[in-house]
Amino acid sequence: MDATTPQRATDLPVQEIDVTTDTRDILAHANQGAKKRGLQDWLICDVDAHHVETVSWHELVEYIEDPVIRHQAMLFHKEKLGGAPYGLNGDMGLKYQDVGGRIPHQASLREKTEPGTHRDVTLTRRAMQSLGVDYMVLFPTPMLTLGLHPQPEMEVYLGRAYNRWLIDKVLSVDSRIKTLAYLPFNVPAEAERTIEEFADKPGVIGFCVPSTRHKPVHHNDYMRTYAMLEERGLPIAFHAAYHWQDASLATVNRFLGMHALGFVWCNMVHMTNWILNGIPERFPKLKSIWVESGLAWIPFLMQRLDDQYLMRPSEAPQLKKLPSAYMRENCWYTTQPMETSNMKALELTLEMINAESQLLFASDWPHFDFDLPQEIYDLPFLSEQAKRNILGLNAAKLFNLDPTPVKRL
Amino acid sequence: MTDYLVCDESDIAEGGRRVVQCGQHEIGIFRIKGQLHAWHNICPHRQGPICQGHIYARVIEPVDERGQVRLLQYDEGDQHVVCPWHGYEFNLETGRCNGNDRMKLFRAEIAIRDGAIHVIV
């Protein structure tokens, strides 16, 4: 050590990260980590990231098809102060996502953006660059509970408006940003109409059913929707969320508990119905993706359903193999939030779901439990090929994307 | 090892911080209960920028003699820095993670010379 001529330390430009901090500063370490691991040469597809569509709700309502509802919504946003976004039901729990202000990027991204480019394009590009992502699939946030709206037609109005607005303002601007378009699932005929209208639009690589809803996925009314998706080779994603109106979760008082259970429970119920009613047998080429429930629930449900099925096969007569076989062969899963507190359990989970072909990386940025691509890269028990598949190549195959990396770190 | 001059000792007030670049290293220096503590700006969870996080007192929930609870409280004597990425909390004096004793922040070496703070890395 040369104590006589000390060098000068320099202050970091951001001393304390808050809601105004630029995404690139928040994620500076992520970018360094991606470069250090050489992810420039890896295809990275982020199959679940988010934007806050309600920031642009005043724009979005202009895309509502119904002229009367559109007029009402536009007047609402022009004249009312302090109201919630027009037509949204929302959930009280969203107030707690940022852990009482501890995680600023979850609370808000109020950074400066360039004039002339839509805010959501800029924020998404910054996140892609920082994380080292080639393609990012954007999902809405407050709209994830729209399936519980007491007026089913409101899901139709707002779901279609969202799809049109997103394509117009975001997807048509940057071909690296993709969507699984919103399906207004509570009105099956409108879900079919949505597929007809949006399947070939730029940036649409499949369709999404927000999972918080009380409609059974095996109802006969949905079979045409599934047939249409299967015929087009487009996946259907069930994106999890939670809601405090679920009677089975009514006693949960901590948001931690609600988030831990709610984001899994909705997809466990849908998956159980999906498998036991033989949807994969009826539509063997239909690819379902189970989004944002983490991974630890899958081994439990596989074992539980297998055990029960063998004792009661007469109650699931369409099945020709074990429930776990359908879950492993016909279903895809996104990684986030990947449970890592027991690495042996994680290793077994990835083996049980055949992660090498069925697992898709997801960051869930900018939410409080987001994951980085390096979480997959650093797993000690996977081959390099398995890591490459999970981080991007499985998604490229599933969504028919060019597997050549296009990002610049 | 290289010696980096950071600032005057008095430049970091009680509860304050200075997060600096020292070559390849990012170091956060905090003053808690009059003492300076320096930590590498790397969260042991996922390498997040821990030293750039908000500071919160630890939250406690007192239990009365009947085993019942009523209010949450802040323990002002136990100051935590919170990772802005995922919310992991660490005691600023010990570096210990709230909830996982096996996880700790990485302490950095500092020295005070002629009233100035130096980082040695």
Confidence of residue A406 (pLDDT cuts 50, 70, 90): very high
Q: Which of these, A41, A45, A40, lies nearest to A391 by C-alpha position?
A: A45
Confidence of residue A139 (pLDDT cuts 50, 70, 90): very high
Whether A4 maps to a domain, the answer reads no
Range of the domain at A368: 23-27+38-399
* Sheet strand arrangement including B25-32: A10-11, B17-22, B25-32, B35-40
CA distance A145 to A12: 40
3-class DSSP string for A123-192? HHHHHHHHHCCCEEEEECCHHHHHHHCCCHHHHHHHHHHHHHHHHHHHHCCCCCEEEEEECCCCCHHHHH
Residue A77: which CATH number? 3.20.20.140
What's the confidence (pLDDT) of residue A4? Answer: 67
Residue A94 is predicted with a pLDDT of 67
A198, A204 contact by CB (below 8 A): yes
Distance from CA of A64 to the nearest CA of B (A): 36
Q: What is the mean pLDDT of residues A282-304?
A: 98
Alpha helices in A21-116 (DSSP H): 23-26, 28-36, 57-60, 67-79, 104-107
> Is the residue at A1 inside a domain?
no
All structural domains of chain B, each given as residue ranges with its CATH number in brackets, are 3-120 (2.102.10.10)
Report field, pTM of the whole predicted structure over 0.90: yes
Sort strands B89-91 and A359-360 into parallel, antiparallel or unpaired.
Answer: unpaired
- The question of ipTM being above 0.95 is answered as yes
Residue A101 falls within a domain, yes or no?
yes
Put simply, whether A36 touches B (Cβ < 8 Å) is no
Mean pLDDT of A358-383: 98
Residues in B touching A29 (Cβ below 8 Å): 42, 47-49
Check the CA dihedral A357-A235-A186-A366 and report its sign. Answer: positive
Quick check: is A5 in a domain?
A: no
CA A273 to chain CA mean position, Å: 21
- Please check whether residue A16 lies inside any domain of the structure: no
Quick check: is A275 in a domain? yes
Cα–Cα distance measured from residue B53 to residue B80, given in angstroms and rounded to the nearest whole number: 10
Q: How many domains is chain A built from?
A: 1
Interface test with chain A among B54, B55, B74, by most A beta carbons within 10 Å: B54
The residue-averaged pLDDT of B16-37 equals 98
B82 contact residues in A (CB cutoff 8 A): 99, 102-103
A2, pLDDT greater than 60 = no
| Cis? peptide before A405, omega within 30° of 0 | no
pLDDT tens readout for residues A103-130: 999 999 999 999 999 999 999 999 999 9
Give the pLDDT band of residue A93 (cuts 50, 70, 90): low
Return the pLDDT at A209: 98
In the predicted structure, residue A380 carries a pLDDT above the cut 60: yes
Residue from A84, A91, A10, A83 nearest A259 by CA: A91
Per-residue pLDDT of B70-120, as tens digits, reads 999 999 999 999 999 999 999 999 999 999 999 999 999 999 999 999 999
> Which of A16, A339, A343, A372 should one mutate to test binding to chain B, selecting the residue with the greatest count of B CBs within 10 A?
A16
